[in-house]
Structure 1
Amino acid sequence: MAITHADLEPSRRSTELGSKTGVSLMVLTILSGLFCFILCLIAEATRSEVAWVGTGNKGNGGNYECVYSGSGKTPLLCAASAFVGLAVAMVVEHAYMLIAVTKSPPSALVDWDSGSAIAKSLTWQAGFFFVSTWICFSVGEILLLVGLSVESGHLKNWNRQRPSCLVIREGLFSAAGVFSLATVFFAAGLFLTALRAQTISQELENVRREVLEASALYASPPHRMATIARENPITSENHTQQPLFEFPLQAFSKHSNLV
């Protein structure tokens, strides 16, 4: 079986951002965000509403009481699942990125020139994605927490008439789903920025190693000449093939003819 150049390359560790583990984790994070978005839409469609019912005699200016349209179990379960799923996805994704950066070689952080344009660009991109990710995550979780607290307040006796009913405003769960979706996409942008920084760092390290090897090679020419001489030595067979006393024998034969 033929061995290719890819077979000789060292395999990526699971703690590297560009490994299969990192890519799979990033894909699962995006899918988790999409799933949370769908759960939020379901919670929005099934959220509890209030109907007002008049009590007492109409002539005496009777009072009005409210009745919930449902127990709120479905939106409660959907919102709780979205809340937990988004939190788990964010914790796992950021923990993996922290481990990957910690396990990276020290040269990946030392070789960077902080004054270069590409370093400034990557720093601004990483800061923007990091702050945006946590802002969207915090707002989305707060909205889901508000929806959970309201929907859990009338699980029992929800069809009983009450003097006051607390319901969430229309669009709260939908907004939470949008923020959840934005969270995972900003997290993906942060992951790609970190991966790009790691790739550029590895390229700089390879260039630096090649420059050092080339300078060490050209700094010692005698050693290079000795190496070339050892690669093409003169064998003893070439010496034995040439006659050692060719010129004296020819001179002796010419002298004997003259005599």
Structure 2
Amino acid sequence: ASTMVDVSHGRLDARIPLIGSGDDIDAVSAQVNAALERLSALVDGMREVSANIAHDLKTPLNRLQMILESAADKTVSGEDVSAELTDARAESQQINSTFDALLRVAQIEAGARKARFVDLDVGPIVETIGDVYADVAEDDGKSLSTGVVPDTKWYIHGDRDLLMQMLANLVENALRHCPPGTAIGLSVTRDGSHVLIHVRDNGPGIPAEEREKVFRRLYRLDASRTTPGSGLGLSLAKAVADLHGAVITLEDCKPGLGVTVSFPAVKAA
């Protein structure tokens, strides 16, 4: 009872002490503690998102205000404001896209799309993303190769559209943050009861201490804050992975970054 009173007063780190007898009371206490742990994580996440919104959206909002003020001044003096209107539209589109991405992450985390799950082969999804982004990579001075074993099926239970979005975000993340000359590879493998999708590059990678942080909504490495993007690509990818009961991990490819998403495999449909 005292623990719940503490929680009601905002002490979300309070936990019910376990007796250690392994009885039903201990089992219920453990479940309540797990729920409190999840609640605490969600509240911390909300606080962090709020702080990041204030930090990362303040700059484009300030830019938009300055552009509009400049347009207003020019209008008074009868000058052409078409350039300012173009810049203002671009800034507002970026702000809107950030909020749209935040909403998509929230909807995915709420499990709103799970009703559309079917057994599907991820091989064609990987090949499609590889085909779509190969030219994009080449135009950007990079290369994208896809390794899918012919005549092999990798079945999982999931939503095709969400998986396409997840993989597109992972590839776009590599393209955005790697310099010209970088080689990016997509592949699918099987490891026992799991199907693994890999996105690897030989770019600059991510420091070990930053690897878990990049999954947070709106989190961006200091080195990437001057580049386009909202800091939501990896957050959305993780939300899709979590919805599918998959585990997404980052590794050092020495050089470069390796992203692996491990899905529970299902029998061929």
Q: TM-score range by the shorter chain?
A: under 0.3
State the structure with more CA Rg.
1
Task: Name the TM-score, length of structure 1 as normaliser.
Answer: 0.24
Ranked by relative contact order (alpha carbons within 8 Å, sequence separation 6 or more), the top structure is: 1
Task: Name the TM-score, length of structure 2 as normaliser.
Answer: 0.23
Larger % of strand: which? Answer: 2
Larger % of helix: which? Answer: 1
